[in-house]
Structure 1
Amino acid sequence: MLVQELSGQKYSKTHHRRALQSLLNGRSEGSIERKHQNISAILLELECPWIIGYKPLGNYQALLFEVVMETLVNDPIFDQAARHASEQPAIVPMGVNFDYWVEATPQPTEVREAANRPQFLAMKRDYVAREARNRALGLAGEELVLNYEQQRLERSGYGALAGKVEHTSVKRGDGTGYDILSFETDGRERFIEVKTTAFAKGTPFYISRNEVEFSKATSDRYHLYRLFEFRTRPRMFSLAGDLHDQLQLDPVTYLASLG
């Protein structure tokens, strides 16, 4: 199912679940659903995409972790599909209904279940990192947010402010700490950082130290917009204020020098 989803092919979760049920000695559909969620939690820890709709669920068995690891190591088709999904270009989707695209911010347990998180992994895929380097996807997400902010202000009766919304990352470069300069209806600046994924809502994302520090310095005006399922049904949630207080920030790289 995951390879089909990554490849843009339709499939039936119900058909697959019932086919499994016939092979599993009477396991309930609910238990099969939870096992798929356990697999999603493992894939999250391995920095892999998972099936949208199977929200990661922790407290999985060590044996399941080993089986998922072994499957990934020996499945070049999955690797090819995940790499392609991470790296393929993107364009701004047409016809997005902004009335329905804002969702609630996930609770921390939705994003990451830490109880069974392995400290050291023999294998991690870099699909999340590859997608973060997908400039076409990032730019398309920023342009969609630009459209949303302009429409938000115009609908509120502030067309003059809508005309001042700026695509800062394009106009000034990537070092400002945010991507879009927008406005509140009272004229105050709204600094927006945009993070876009084609994968599920809870997919981790990369953020620079500069972006995090800028969120602290401008906490009363700062917003992070997280866009997800971008290629199929784009929606977003937002975080406002100092990101130190809202995210689990893992140091993933170090700048090393001698002396």
Structure 2
Amino acid sequence: MARADHWSDTEIALTVADYMKMFTLELAGQRYNKSAHRRALLKLLNGRSDAAVELKHQNISAVLRDLNCFWIPGYKPRSNYQEALATYVEDWINSHSDFDRVSQAAVKQPAFVPTGVEFSTLLVETPKPSTTIQEEHPPYSPNRAASKRDYVAQEARNSALGSAGELLILEYEEYRLRSAGERTLANRIEHVAQSKGDGLGYDILSFETSGQERFIEVKTTAFAKETPFYASRNEVSFSADFQDQFHIYRLFEFRKSPKLFSLAGAISDHCQMDPVNFICRLR
């Protein structure tokens, strides 16, 4: 007889604790072995399969995403989790002050342009859109201390990381055009965020091989491919006005092994955009 899918409180607590231990090591830049962790965890669970643990790990990643935290690369967020799991994750975060310290250190760490990047393999496939029409439940709404953290926003404010990402893309665009035999166009690439200011709606002026202008907004993260990013009202508006020329270049896992995917056209065509703050002026 097939066993029930219900996870006991003990199983959930053990799985969350093990995932978060791995994740803390990930944030600290220390090595760990996912397979070894999984084998040790399976011995403590009630006959769970590798696939079941993998799914639970993906559910934990989704909880962390909804808490505006990062997650372990390779465990792509899967949203059909129970609120009990979210509560365990949030309680774990709130009871482990080391997690906040290592997260803060990770998102604020200075960054530099990496050397030895193989530009021929930098560009990878864009994440496939979710086939889920509607979530099985509304996104988890935390109401305790974990909800006050927004590590994604804090990383977005890391100017050193953002600048390093832009400089890497300048090198990549020069490589792309020179490889296509367009040396003259490559020489015309402009880092407009530096030359004209940060507020035009894009960071880099590059070109198609046809000579048409390509407007590139660079978004850089040290974390997973699916990590959300912030876009300004100006960037969203500009992307809609110049859909045929606008590209989001999303750099991810920047500190370890940077990779890139591109979103061409209006940002709203690719992303679910949630308003996160408002400026309020007295009437």
TM-score by length of 1: 0.96
Segment drifting more, 21-30 vs 117-126: 117-126
RMSD: 1.6
Separation of aligned partners in 2, 1:214 and 1:207: 11
Counterpart AA for 2:99: F
Separation of aligned partners in 2, 1:15 and 1:164: 51
- The answer to whether 1:38 aligns with 2:56 is no
Conservation of the 8 A alpha-carbon contact between 1:111 and 1:202:
no
Conservation of the 8 A alpha-carbon contact between 1:58 and 1:113:
no
TM-score by length of 2: 0.88
- Pick from 35, 40, 43: which aligns with 1:22? 43
Identity of matched residues, %:
54
- Which residue of structure 1 aligns with residue 15 of structure 2? none
Alignment map for 1:173-192 (pairs within 5 Å): 173-192=197-216
CA gap 1:249/1:46 in 2 versus in 1, 3 angstroms: same
- The answer to whether 1:87 aligns with 2:108 is yes
Conservation of the 8 A alpha-carbon contact between 2:86 and 2:140:
no
- The answer to whether 1:195 aligns with 2:216 is no
Separation of aligned partners in 2, 1:3 and 1:120: 23
CA gap 1:178/1:249 in 2 versus in 1, 3 angstroms: same
- Pick from 189, 210, 233: which aligns with 2:257? 233
3-state secondary structure, aligned to 2:112: coil
Separation of aligned partners in 2, 1:111 and 1:225: 25
- Report the alpha carbon displacement of residue 121 of structure 1 after superposing the two structures with TM: 2.3
- Pick from 129, 134, 139: which aligns with 1:118? 139
3-state secondary structure, aligned to 2:248: strand
3-state secondary structure, aligned to 2:62: helix
Separation of aligned partners in 2, 1:112 and 1:151: 39
- Pick from 41, 54, 64: which aligns with 2:75? 54
- Which residue of structure 2 aligns with residue 67 of structure 1? 88
- Which residue of structure 1 aligns with residue 128 of structure 2? 107
Counterpart AA for 1:71: W
- Which residue of structure 2 aligns with residue 154 of structure 1? 178
3-state secondary structure, aligned to 1:33: helix
Structure 1 unaligned blocks of 5 or more:
none
Aligned residues: 259
- Report the alpha carbon displacement of residue 244 of structure 1 after superposing the two structures with TM: 2.0
- Report the alpha carbon displacement of residue 112 of structure 1 after superposing the two structures with TM: 11
Separation of aligned partners in 1, 2:132 and 2:157: 21
Of structures 1 and 2, the larger Rg is shown by: 2
